[in-house]
Amino acid sequence: MFTGIITDVGRVRNIAHKGDTSIILNTAFDTASIDIGASIACSGVCLTVVDKGSDWFAVDASAETLSCTNLGDWVEGTRVNFERAMKVGDELGGHIVTGHVDGMGEIQSITPEGDSVRMLFSVPQNLAKYIAEKGSVTINGVSLTVNEVIDEDQKPSVFGINVIPHTQEKTTFSDVKVGDKVNLEIDILARYVARMNEFN
């Protein structure tokens, strides 16, 4: 379980395509405190640590993970948002995040708005009903507040967020561009509410 608060931004050091895809990631985390088998959210995708060194850790990604997330677009040097799994008693600074990506969106526009940046994202129609104004959404592992939902009847729908300077500085949002694919995880509470409504 995660919170969507990024605590390190690393880079892809190496990618090796075997039966699964093995990815080595540089990190500023104290890897001595990371157990083999631990879960780390990598740009929103919960991955298992299978090896580590003094300034890196390795994960394996299946073909399914590559097809359902933007990990398939990663190359050596790609910057990656990291969050270690939360512990009981940790501050829940964002919202409850599972690290299970629901689908991919696409950045439609990036517009400066004061010191912040306004971004519009397309969202697959099957996820649109879970995106609510002033609700939470996780984008590339970052917990964010939805400012607006537009084109609700279009396919795909579009929603907007504001990224404040601190978030730009501490995450990979500082170097995204229009057309980039992003990992989306909907708010787990929205998922359960929608599920319950199906039975009413």
Residues 188 and 136 in one domain: yes
Residues 80 and 149 in one domain: no
Is 178 among the domain residues? Answer: yes
Is 94 among the domain residues? Answer: no
Final residue in a domain of this structure, among 84, 116, 145: 84
pLDDT digits (tens, 9 = 90+) for 16-25: 988 899 999 9
H/E run at residue 194: helix 188-197
Is 2 among the domain residues? Answer: no
Total length of the chain: 200
Is 115 among the domain residues? Answer: yes
Give the pLDDT of residue 87. 73
Q: Which amino acid is at 144?
A: L
Give the pLDDT of residue 180. 97
Answer yes or no: pTM beyond 0.75.
yes
Nearest to 43 by CA among 75, 17, 16, 4: 4
Residues 48 and 111 in one domain: no
What domain range includes position 65? Answer: 8-84
pLDDT digits (tens, 9 = 90+) for 96-137: 888 899 999 999 999 999 999 999 999 998 898 889 899 999
Is 40 among the domain residues? Answer: yes
Residues 62 and 123 in one domain: no
Residues 42 and 77 in one domain: yes
Q: DSSP letter for 42, please.
A: E
Residues 80 and 116 in one domain: no
Higher pLDDT, 115 or 194: 115
What would the mean pLDDT of 1-10 be, rounded to a whole number?
92
Binning pLDDT at 50, 70 and 90, where does residue 175 land? very high
Final residue in a domain of this structure, among 84, 118, 134: 84
- Residue 172 belongs to a domain with what CATH number? 2.40.30.20
Is 154 among the domain residues? Answer: yes
Final residue in a domain of this structure, among 52, 84, 116: 84
Is 89 among the domain residues? Answer: no
CB under 8 Å to 101, separation ≥6 — which residues?
44, 45, 68, 69, 183, 184, 185
Rounded Cα distance between 63 and 105, Å, is 19
Residues 141 and 191 in one domain: yes
Instruction: Report the first-to-last Cα separation within the chain, whole angstroms.
Output: 29
Is 93 among the domain residues? Answer: no
Within 10 angstroms of residue 96's Cβ, the number of other Cβ atoms is: 16
Number of folded domains that form the chain: 2
What would the mean pLDDT of 163-175 be, rounded to a whole number?
95
Residues 185 and 121 in one domain: yes
Is cis: bond before 156, omega within 30 of 0?
yes
Query: In terms of DSSP bridges, do strands 116-123 and 79-84 run parallel, antiparallel, or are they unpaired?
Result: unpaired
